[in-house]
Structure formats: C-alpha cells, structure tokens
Amino acid sequence: MSDTARLKVVVAALLVLPPLAPLAHAQGPATRSALAAEARDEKAAAPNGPVISRTEKVLNALEQGRARQLFAPREGFSLRIGGIEDGSGLAVGPRWRKSTLVGGRLILHGSTVQSGRGERAMEAGWLVPKLGSRRVGLAMDFSSTHLTRERLFQNLPGGSRASSTIFGVDQRLVSGTAMFTATAWLHVTTRMGHLRAASSAPPGKSLVGTPPPGLDDSAAFAVASVSATVDSRDVPGNPRHGGRYHLAVERFADQERARYSFTRVGAELEQHLSMLRRQRVVTLRAVTSLSQADPHQAVPVFLQPTLGGSQVLRGFITDRFRAPNIMALQAEYGWDVWPFMGAVLFYETGKATEHWRQALSLSDLRRDYGLGFRFGSARTVALRTDVAFGSGEGTRLSMRMSHAF
C-alpha cells in the first residue's frame, strides 16, 4: 500500500469513529507480541529469511523470565517502585502478598516505599475477592502518606508570573470497601472510612493575599463514596482497543470543627481506537473533578485536585494548577516502532477553577503538545518518556514507569 493510500485509511478512520461500546469482544484481537511472533514466523518461512536478532531474543527472554516477576505483584515478597505521587522522585520499597489463605478466598497484602526526597507511603490490608455468588468482594485497607514537596502557585499582582510555595501533607486513611461485579465490564464500588489529613507550610514563607483554606492546618473526615466503572479495554496495562468510563461521588464530612465539609463528583472517560492491524492507536480522554463545599465552608488545599506533571498537562510543572475544580481533555496518536517500543504524539488542554461552572466551560484553557516513547511489552508499559511543548512555560521532559492513563 502506498503512503497516499495509508493516509486515506487513517483519515477515514478518524472521521468515522465507532460509537463508544462498553461490551468487550468475546474473543479479543491478537496482542502486539502475537503479531510480532507471526511476522517472525513468516520471515523464517521465506527463503533466506532474516533470523531473529540477538537483542530481540534477550528482550523476549526478559519479558517471559523471572526478572519481570521481581517488579510485578506476586506471591510473597517483591519490589515496589513508585506509587507515591507525581513529582516525588524515584521511590522504592518492599511489597508482600499472600493469596493462598482459606483456599484462595482471602488475600493479605502490604507495602512501603520511600523516595530520595524523604517522601514515603505505606499500605496494608486484606481482600476477600469473591463472596456468595462470586460477584461481591470485601476489603479493608490502611494507608499512610507523607509528602514534603507539594506545590502551591499564586499569581503575582499585575503580571502573568506565578509565585510558588512548597508545603507538606500527611494523610492517614482507614477504609472498608464493598465491590459488586454486575457484568464482566461493569463494576460498582462503595467505600466508607476515616481520613486524618494535615498540611504544614514552611516557616517565614510569605503568601500573596489570603492563604488558601487548610494551609498549615489539619482536619479529620468521615469519608464515603460510591463509584461505577465500565471497562472494556482489551489490556488494562497497555490498552489498544476499548474504553474505560468511571464516575464517582465522594463525601468528606469534617468531624472536628465543621470547616472543610464538601462533596466531590469525578469522572474519567477514556476511549482507545486501534487501526492498521493494531499498530496504530488513537486515545481520547476527558477528566473532571467538581467540588461543592457546604455553606460557609471550603475545600482544603491539601484535598484539592491538581493539573500539571507527567500525566495531565505534561507541559507544566507538577501541581502547576490547584483548585477545587479541574477539567482536562487529552488526545494521543500512537504507533509501534518495534515490538518493545512505541511512539506517541499528544495534545492536552485543561483548567483549574474555584467554581465548578467555570470548569465546565471551554474558555481560558491552558494547553500543551508533544512527543513521547513507550518501552515495554504488549501487556504493560515499563517506562515512558514525554517531551512537551507549547505551554508558554518552557519545554518539559518527564519519565515514569507506568502508562500515561
């Protein structure tokens, strides 16, 4: 097929997008590894076909071997990397899991990580994945997070520059969760718990205007949430087809001084469209988080969502925009360079506002665009790197050991 013909196929696919379908394929399409193996078999069957390179043999062995299991959640001890927050730096620690208790009906787990910047996170709990009709699961979890480099940006009077303040956040959450699997693609979750959170501002740091609510303060919350997720992605760790649509409602009730009670509604819509034998993928994603504080109360700064960093608005520094309400739209076009490496072009736009009605409008959006590379297998992204431009605040390079979404 000529380059002109390929271009026509891509344009036609983008103009005639299939509707969002929550139903997964009864028999999923072949993975990239399978396609690569098929291509190698065809080459080997051809006269004087090229042999598989030594490098590719080594990568195949690593993908299937024990080295990969060291970093994957498995029985017993393994290694946990990351999982604190964007901008925390490299965090490493031990992880433990026991899933053979009571005939496999009870799972115990725990892990802890610490970064070179002094930030740390710990979690532990138990899970009963299937009860009764095997559609219901129960879990109890405890988590603790210590963050030292949360950023708060404030615009300076009379200019477009922004002044930043670094503050710390400590959170401890105990929660119980009930999970209901309605179908293979629909999951409903309810959660109740207790959250204690506190922030600490550096001494002597002056702020512009009135400090935001919750800075250098603490609160205890009764937390309750309900969420529904439709997930038809073929491979959750590295999707090529299908979508994920998530809606959640959360209630934070201040139990001490009734100053920070609020309700939050969050939504994530993500769709993947593959073409040309799954070697090209278009991903569309929308994210929003809308909060409504109780009368005469406020959403504390340490519980406000942010934009900027390695996941949403990658052209801006981590936590560049922080407010009770956010909205972001993202688009990626990816293609396979070779079986263990892919490339993407991406475009993003979004905003953070004090009032939820402003967040839903398409005016005053910040944007960026860029190029990225993905390294890993057909089932997971082991390393990704993105270079973002167009933000007006410089070129930014980000690297993470996970998928962008």
Domain ranges of the chain: 236-241+261-405
Residue entry with tokens 């062995």: 61
310, containing H or E segment: none
Q: What is the DSSP string of 40-74?
A: HHHHHHSTTPPPPPHHHHHHHHHHHSHHHHHHS--
> Quick one: pLDDT at residue 205?
61
Q: 107 forms bridges with which residues in the sheet?
A: 127
- List Cβ neighbours of 81 (8 Å cut-off, separation of 6 or more): 71, 90, 91, 92, 113, 401
> Quick one: pLDDT at residue 131?
87
- Percent helix, strand, coil in the chain (nearest 5)? 15, 50, 35
Q: Where do the DSSP E strands lie in 160-241?
A: 162-181, 186-200, 218-231
**Tokens standing for residue 199:** 């922030």
With beta carbons less than 8 A apart as the criterion, state whether 313 and 328 touch.
yes
> What does the pLDDT look like over 267-311, one tens digit per residue?
999 999 999 888 899 999 999 999 999 999 999 999 999 999 999
Q: Which amino acid is at 405?
A: F
Predicted structure pTM score: 0.80
356, containing H or E segment: helix 356-359
Fold of 236-241+261-405: Porin (2.40.160)
> Quick one: pLDDT at residue 68?
45
Q: State the number of CA atoms in the 13 A half-sphere of 311 facing the CB.
A: 14
The phi, psi pair for 36, rounded to 5°, reads: -65, -40
DSSP-derived 3-state class of residue 162: strand
> Quick one: pLDDT at residue 403?
83
- List Cβ neighbours of 27 (8 Å cut-off, separation of 6 or more): none
> Quick one: pLDDT at residue 19?
35
With beta carbons less than 8 A apart as the criterion, state whether 287 and 268 touch.
yes
Per-residue pLDDT 10s for the chain (405 aa) are 444 444 344 334 433 333 333 333 333 444 445 544 554 444 444 444 444 445 445 545 544 444 444 445 568 999 888 778 877 778 899 999 999 898 889 999 999 999 988 899 999 999 999 887 789 999 999 999 999 989 998 776 555 567 788 899 999 999 999 999 999 999 999 999 999 999 987 765 666 667 889 999 999 999 999 999 999 999 998 999 999 999 999 999 999 989 999 999 999 999 999 998 888 999 999 999 999 999 999 999 999 999 999 999 999 999 999 999 999 999 999 999 988 899 999 999 999 999 999 999 999 999 999 999 999 988 888 899 999 999 999 999 998 888 888
> CA-CA distance, 183 to 138, in Å (whole number)?
17
